Amino acid sequence: MTPPPAAPVVSLAADHLSGAVGATADPTVRVLVSQAGARPADLSVVAVASSDSRIAGAGDVTVRGRGAEREVSVRARGRGLCELTLCVTGLGGRTATAVLHYAASGPVQHAADTRYFTGACDASAAVDVGGGHLVLADDESNTLRLYARGVSGGPVRGWDFGERLGARREIDIEGVARAGDTDSVYWLGSMSNSEEGKPRPDRSLLFRTRLRGAGAGVELVLDGSYRDLRTDLIAWDESRGGELGFAAGAAAGRKPQRIDAFNAEGFAFAPGSTSIAYIGFRAPLVPAKTGGAALLVPVMNVDELVGGGARAEFGEPVLLDLDGLGVRDLCRNSADQYLIVAGSWAADDSSDPYALYAWDGQPGHGAVRLMDLPTGDPGGWECVVDVPDLDVPGARVQVIADCGSVDWYGTGVEARDLPHAAWKKARAVTFTVTE
Note the pLDDT tens digit of each residue in 321-347: 999 999 999 999 999 999 999 999 986
Q: How does DSSP assign 374-424, residue by residue? A: P-SSSSEEEEES----TTSTT-EEEEEEE-TT--TTSSS--GGG-S-GGG-
Q: In what order do the strands lie in the sheet with 380-384?
A: 114-118, 425-432, 396-402, 380-384
- For 76-96, the pLDDT digits (tens) are 999 999 999 999 999 999 999
Within this chain, domains 9-105 and 111-432 share the same CATH topology: no
pLDDT at 2 over 90: no
Residues 179, 166: contact at Cβ < 8 Å?
A: no
* pLDDT (0 to 100) of residue 87: 97
Torsion angle of the four alpha carbons 347, 348, 352, 353, in this order, in degrees rounded to the nearest 10: 130
Q: Give kind and range of the element (H or E) at residue 250.
A: helix 246-250
Three-state DSSP class for 173? strand
How high is the mean pLDDT of the chain?
96
CA angle 14, 23, 417 (to 5 degrees): 50
Torsion angle of the four alpha carbons 416, 278, 269, 361, in this order, in degrees rounded to the nearest 10: 120
Model confidence at 241, pLDDT cuts 50, 70, 90, reads: very high
Three-state DSSP class for 427? strand
Model confidence at 349, pLDDT cuts 50, 70, 90, reads: low
Model confidence at 395, pLDDT cuts 50, 70, 90, reads: very high
pLDDT at 170 over 70: yes
Closest CA to 128 of 269, 271, 333: 333
The upper half-sphere exposure of residue 350, i.e. CA atoms within 13 Å in the direction of its Cβ, equals 19
* pLDDT (0 to 100) of residue 4: 80
What's the mean pLDDT in 60-70? 96
CATH architecture of 111-432: 5 Propeller (2.115)
Residues 98, 126: contact at Cβ < 8 Å?
A: no
The C-alpha atoms of residue 121 and residue 114 are separated, in whole angstroms, by 15
Closest CA to 342 of 297, 391, 293, 387: 293
* pLDDT (0 to 100) of residue 350: 67
Where are the strands (E) in 274-409, listed by range?
277-286, 293-299, 318-320, 326-332, 338-343, 354-359, 368-373, 380-384, 396-402
CATH architecture of 9-105: Sandwich (2.60)
Beta pairing class for 123-128 and 16-20: unpaired
pLDDT at 14 over 90: yes
Closest CA to 216 of 263, 148, 145, 275: 148
* pLDDT (0 to 100) of residue 396: 98
Model confidence at 309, pLDDT cuts 50, 70, 90, reads: confident
- 0.85 exceeded by the pTM? yes
pLDDT at 276 over 80: yes
Count of residues in the chain: 435
Q: How far is CA 230 from the centre of its chain?
A: 24
Question: So where are the chain's domains?
Answer: 9-105, 111-432
Q: How far is CA 268 from the centre of its chain?
A: 17
Separation in Å, CA 373 to CA 308, 334, 341, 402: 40, 24, 9, 14
Q: Give kind and range of the element (H or E) at residue 232.
A: helix 229-239
pLDDT over 70 percentage in the chain:
99
The C-alpha atoms of residue 57 and residue 212 are separated, in whole angstroms, by 44
Beta pairing class for 354-359 and 368-373: antiparallel
What's the mean pLDDT in 119-127? 97
- For 194-230, the pLDDT digits (tens) are 999 999 999 999 999 999 999 999 999 999 999 999 9
